[in-house]
Structures are given as structure tokens and as C-alpha cells.
A and B are shown apart, each in its own frame.
Chain A
Amino acid sequence: MFKKLLIANRGEIALRVIRACREMSITSVAVFSDVDRTALHVGKADEAYHVGPANASESYLNIEKIIATAKRCGAEAIHPGYGFLSENPKFARACEEAAIKFVGPKPSAMEIMGSKTRARQAAMAAGVPCVPGTARGLTLAEAEIEGAKIGFPVMIKAAAGGGGKGMRVVRTAAELPSAFETAGSEAQRAFGSGEVYLEKLIENPRHIEIQVLGDEHGNLVYLGERECSVQRRHQKVIEEAPSSFLDSEMRRRMGEVAVRAAKSAGYTNAGTVEFLVDSERNFYFLEMNTRLQVEHPVTEITTGVDLVHLQLRIASGEALPFQQHDIVMRGHAIECRIYAEDPDNNFFPSPGKITRLLQPSGPGVREDSGIYEGWTVPLDYDPMLAKLIVYASDRPSAIARMKRALNEYFIGGIQTNLGLFRRILDHPDFIAGRIDTGFLDRLLSAKENGAVPVNGLSEIAALSAALFSAAAPSGNHGSSNGVMPSKAKGAASSGWKRVARAEGLRNL
């Protein structure tokens, strides 16, 4: 096993890996940018080195700097976390050349899975189902033949396309000629090429993914699935394991297919094969993520496997300590991703100082977080603050437990999406497991039914506001009027806000 590991990341995932290092008696090395000197991962690691300015491209994405840091401090391996350099084959190759072990797959496997077309080719060659389609430009006559072959509804897509331009849903053969015509001319105008192709339309799909894990001795297993259909603009918000949509037979089929896809690329270490699943339970390969996923804890909890420990053991050359038939999923786990963003204002990011933090605990609760009270969330990086994960014997108990844990969670000073989870967890479709990738957008576009019922709570709020106001000046030995320098020029003029500033200074 390695004696020293550098973690080329920040936030909660850096802490996750640091914790694994502690448990395995490995010296952990953090890296940080200018604005992260006070970040939690710097304090919790055994060693920490500065790698550059706030801008990630000059710090957390700076391959030369990170490799040089690893060499200088004598780290034998680098864990990339997720995001940043985690899926960059150039980085994996640079590690190899510097004789530093990259904790992840080989660069060749990353290259195959990192390209949509190469991944699709590899998957199809391995007999992995992909969304049926032609993937090349067609004439109208060809399109009519292919459309009948694929089966309606189909999607017309521009070969050069993106951003929804040149895309048309076609529900019947009769609609095809006119849709083909308009999609083609739209594509011509947008991309200078009218070439279009057909793909089967997967309506309201679920996003279900399979965790795989392979060692460097040819063993590869799957560790069950994660249901990740609750998404907003392709950003996952809630994940669970297992999926209430799968039975053990389908889990086995998807797992075996995922293992085949991974094997076809010579995959090692932890990875995730993502599938779209239609309402008829057909599943189609979407892509493979060649790294540890944000949502890995729900798999850890339901399989009893520590994925980061195993990543490190695999990278140091050990064989997998179990076989496929040893893997059993037990109970139900749910994860909520806590973001510094304001659901009431278009999900706008909300960096700033965390003035109060009350964290949930108790039975079946795990919180993987990178924040602390008094820390200022920098405005330079992803707004994810923490992940709240709960575990219970079944899905209804896990939902109830998550609601309980969310009620204990308080993040003050910045806006977070904590309130949104309560809306999701109380929604009858979520409770019934009727979720697809459009679920959250539909929920958000539906107006919240009227004002929030606050029966009697506004009196308590009024009383508390008065109490806090009364407490502020008495501690100041006199009136605070007129002595507070207005830092934020011309800030609102209400008495409450005035008292707020007095309180804020008093606490310094």
C-alpha cells in the first residue's frame, strides 16, 4: 500500500479521500488555491501545498504544478476525486510518466470512454444495447425506411448539431416528410450542413447507472445500481440505491452488460456505466464515467463496500477481495446534494459566509461535507456544499429518515436548496417511485400551492425578532443608533436590518 497520497481536488470529495487515508494509515496531501487556504480539506490533511490562484485552470487543473507538488513531497499516488482532472487522460498519462500511480483506470480506457462515438462503438461491439439510430446523414427515402425499422416515435437530429437546433420529434410515419424538411433547413441555417439522422425517441426515460469495480488482475464486478432520475438540467439532485424500478433479474442483466462494456475498454478501478431506461424496462447505454461518482455513498451503504478504500487497494496492485456472488444489496439509501443556490431565484448560486451551521446526525445519517460555520463559500467553484445520505431498511423509511435529517439541517447566511428537497420528498410521484428525468422540471414549473401554511409560526417569528433586537443593544451598553458604519453603502433602511448590522459587529 502507498505511504503517501496526494488528492488533486477540494471540497467534500477531498475530505472523503483524506478520511480513507486516515483509516488506512496513508499520509494525505492536500492541494489548495489562493482562495482555499482556509478550506476544510487543507486543515484535515496531513500535508497541504499551494498550487496557484483561484482560477481552477491555473491551480486544480494545472497538471505540471500538481505533478511537481506530488514529486516534491514524495507522494506515490494521486487520487483525482471527481471533476477537475479526474477524467483527463493527459493527466493520467503525465502521472504515468512521472512514475506516480494515478488512482483510476488506464489512460487508454479513459480515452475510449471519453469519446461519445468511440464509447458507443465499443459498447455496440461488446453487445451492449445503445439507443437505436443511424448516426449518419440520410436522404428522405432512407429516413422513411430507417424510421420504419427503428419504430416510431423517432427523433430527427442534425449531424453537426447541438443545442436543440435541427431536432424534431416524429410520432408517426406520416409526419416524417415535413419534419425531415424543416429539421434539415434549420440545420442548414444553424450549422451550414443540412445533414440529419434518426434516433429512437426514449420518452420520459429514467437515468439508472451501474457501479463497476475492476482490479488489475482481470476481475471486474458490478455493485448494483443507482437511480438518478431526479435531475435539473442534467444535474443530479437526488440519488438512491436500489432503484424501485428494477427487480433482481433486471439488475443482473444491467450489471452484466455494464461489466461487458467496461471489459471491452480494458477498464480497471471504479467506474460507472450510465443507462437510459424506458417505461418498458428497455435499457440503453448512455456513457461511462471513468471516475468515482459524487453519489458513490448510496452504493457503499447498501453494499457494505468502501469504494475509496478499494480504489486505493486496487491502485496499489491488490486483487479484489470478493467476487460477484459475494455482493448483496441491503436496505435503501438516499442522497441529497446540498447546493449553495437559491431555488426561489432561478437556482442562482449563493456564495458567501456561512453564519450558522447545524448539522444532522442520529441513526442512519451520513453527511459528507466540506463546509464549516464561519467559512466563506468562494465564488470560484462548483456550488455543491455537502451531501446528506440516509440509510434505512426500506424506501419509505429512508424517505421519512431523510425528511427528519433535513429538518435538523440548518445552513444560515447563504441560500441553499435544502427547502427544495422537502417538496420533492413529499411529492406523491416521488413517494410512489414514478420518477423520470423530467420529474423535477415538471415539479418546479408547477406553482407551489399558495402561501406556505405557517399556522401560528409567524407570531413566534415576530416574538423572536423582537427578542433578538432587545438582546442586541443591551449587550452593547447603550444605543447602537448612529454608531454603525454602513459597510454596504445604502443598504436597506429597516430597523431589523439596522439591528442585524449591530449584532454582526458585536459578534466579531
Chain B
Amino acid sequence: MIYEVTVAERTYKVELSREDASWQCKLDGKPFPAEIVLRSDGVYSILIEGKSYEATQEHTPLGNNIVVGRHRFTPTVRDPRSFRSLRRADSAAQGSKKITAPMPGKVVRILVAAGAQVEAGQGVLVVEAMKMQNELKSPKNGTITKLNVAEGSPVEAGQVLAEIE
């Protein structure tokens, strides 16, 4: 299995194979001397030349993170088998940006109407959770093409609230 993994702005080619129930891996074509055990609680214990690391996977509604020691990473994994479908998704996303809810909550205010011109950094709507209000800003200059929520709507983390083109 070959994966392209982007971590901290670097892309690695990770090759994995199983031999006698243990993982063999190559990083960017070179053998990577890692001894890997999946613990029952979903934490990988990895030994590299005697050095011990714990890598914990974290699910969030906004995606997946890997925590190694006390450092949190947000990797992007590309699986060559599903390369084509991802390409399509990528090109569709080009040019248009989305504002997603960073947390579950309630839309308390909408600051611009659909069709309005906005600048990067301009507030588009306000979401409230735990008595705190969070202004969500436009990621780019453009036009609000879609506004998927109304004032008072409850929202889930990761839900697309608005699109800007």
C-alpha cells in the first residue's frame, strides 16, 4: 500500500506492507526502521532504534489529527486507489471557498446577505456556543454564493454555512 501523506507542509510517500503480521515501511523510498504495534485503545506504539513514540489518532468533526507526544498534526492522506475521485473533488473546490462551523452551536447573527461582495477577513456570520459568540470571517475576497443557514439555526461542527466565490 502506498500513501501520500502531507504533514507540516511536507509530503511523504509512505509504503506499507505486512510481513508475518508485522508492518514493514518505507518513507520516500527508503526503508524506515520502525517496529509498530497497534494497542487496543487505538494508539500506535512505535519503536525506532529503541526510541519509543506513541501516536494517537484523534477524530474530530472537522477531520482527523495525529498526536505524537505532545505535538498535534493534521495530516492529509492521499490513497492512490481513490486518486481519481479526489482529483475531481479538488477541482470542484477550486475557486470557491467554504465557511464551516468550527463547533456545534447556534447561528445568532448573519452579517451579510447572499449575493453580497465580501473581503477576506470580513465577518459573515456569528455562531454562539457556551455563551460565547464567534464571528466567522470570509477566507477570501469574493461574492457570497450560498448561505445555508438562517439566524437561529442550530449548526453541527463541520457544517458548511456559506460559500464564497
Q: Real complex partners, A and B? A: yes
Q: Which residues of A contact B (CB under 8 A)?
A: 340, 342, 345-346, 348-353, 355-356, 358, 379-383, 406-407, 410, 412-414, 419, 422, 451-452, 454, 457-471, 479, 481-482, 488-500, 503-504
Query: Is there contact, CB below 8 Å, between B159 and A469?
Result: no
Given the known inter-chain contacts A351-B104, A407-B70, A465-B75, please indicate yes or no for A412 contacting B46, CB distance below 8 A: no
Known contacts A412-B58, A481-B85, A495-B79; A379 and B42 CB within 8 A of each other: no
Residue of A nearest to B86 (CB): A495
Q: How far is the CA of A471 from the CA of B10 in the complex (A)?
A: 23
The contact string, 1 if C-beta is below 8 Å from chain A, for chain B 5-30, is 10110101010100000010101000
Q: A470 near B100 (CB under 8 angstroms)? A: no
Check B7–A465 contact: CB distance below 8 A: yes
Q: Given contacts A413-B60, A494-B76, is CB(A348)–CB(B132) below 8 Å?
A: yes
- Confirm or deny: B129 has a beta carbon within 8 angstroms of a beta carbon on chain A: yes
Knowing A348-B134, A351-B129, A379-B104, say if A497 contacts B64 (CB, 8 Å): yes
Contact residue among B32, B59, B103 (Cβ-Cβ distance under 8 Å from A348)? B103
**Inter-chain contacts of A458 with B (CB < 8 A):** 7-8, 10, 73
Whether A414 contacts B63 by the Cβ 8 Å rule is no
The residue on B at minimum CB distance from A499 is B77
Cα A69 to Cα B108 with chains together (Å): 34
Q: Is B82 an interface residue (CB 8 A)?
A: yes
Taking A465-B3, A495-B82 as given, write out 11 further A-B residue pairs in contact, using a Cβ cutoff of 8 Å, ordered by the A residue number: A340-B130, A345-B102, A353-B61, A356-B57, A422-B70, A458-B8, A469-B77, A469-B79, A492-B100, A493-B93, A499-B77
A352 to B78, CA, bound (A): 27
In the assembled complex, 5 residue pairs joining A and B whose CB atoms fall closer than 8 Å, in A order, are A348-B132, A412-B57, A461-B55, A462-B14, A467-B23
Across the interface, A465 reaches (CB within 8 A) one of B66, B92, B100, namely B66
| Contact (Cβ within 8 A) A460 B55 | yes
Q: Nearest B residue to A473 by beta-carbon distance?
A: B79
A302 to B105, CA, bound (A): 40
Question: For residue B72, which residue of chain A has the nearest CB?
Answer: A419
Interface of B is mostly: strand
Docked CA distance A468–B23 (Å): 12
Is there contact, CB below 8 Å, between B59 and A498? Answer: no
Spell out B's residues near A (CB within 8 Å).
Answer: 1, 3, 5, 7-8, 10, 12, 14, 16, 23, 25, 27, 32, 34, 36, 38, 41-42, 44, 46, 48, 53, 55-73, 75-79, 81-82, 85-86, 89-90, 92-93, 98, 100, 102-105, 129-132, 134, 148, 156-160
CA distance A496 to B11 in the complex (A): 13
Q: Which of B70, B103, B156 contacts A419 (CB 8 A)?
A: B70
List the A side residues contacting B132 at CB < 8 Å. Answer: 348-349
- Other-chain contact of B7, A419, A462, A482 (Cβ < 8 Å): A462
A288 CA to B69 CA in the complex, in Å?
42
Q: In the complex, which residue of chain B has the Cβ closest to the Cβ of A480?
A: B82
Pick from A419, A479, A492, A496: contact of B81, CB under 8 Å: A479
Contact of B82 among A412, A419, A454, A498 (CB under 8 A): A498
Contacts of B57 in A (CB 8 A): 356, 412, 464, 468, 503
Residues of chain A lying within 8 A (CB to CB) of residue B71: 452, 454, 457, 461
The answer to whether B44 and A467 touch across the interface, beta carbons within 8 angstroms, is: yes
**A496 contact from B44, B63, B130, Cβ within 8 A:** B63
In the bound complex, CA of A348 to CA of B66 (Å): 22
Docked complex Cα distance between A412 and B104 (Å) = 16
Closest partner residue, chain A, to B26 (CB atom)? A463
In the bound assembly, the distance between CA atoms of A352 and B63 in angstroms comes to: 13
Across-interface contacts of A380 in B (CB, < 8 A): 130
A residues less than 8 Å from B157 (CB atoms): 352, 488
Say whether, besides A349-B132, A412-B56, A461 and B68 are in contact (CB < 8 Å).
yes
Report chain A residues within 8 Å CB of B48. 460
Partner of A379, one of B72, B93, B105: B105
Given known A352-B157, A466-B77, A467-B23, contact A413–B59 (CB-CB < 8 A): yes
Query: Nearest Cβ distance between residue A379 and chain B, in whole angstroms?
Result: 4
User: A493's closest neighbor in chain B, by CB?
Assistant: B89
* Known contacts A464-B55, A490-B160, A499-B64; A459/B77 CB under 8 A: no
Q: Which residues of B have CB within 8 Å of A454?
A: 8, 71
In the complex formed, the residue of A with least CB distance to B106 is: A379
Q: Are B63 and A500 in contact (CB under 8 A)?
A: yes
Question: What chain A residues lie within 8 Å of B73 (beta carbons)?
Answer: 457-458, 461, 465
Inter-chain contact B16/A410, CB cutoff 8 Å: no
Task: Name A492's contact: one of B12, B14, B63 (CB within 8 Å).
Answer: B63
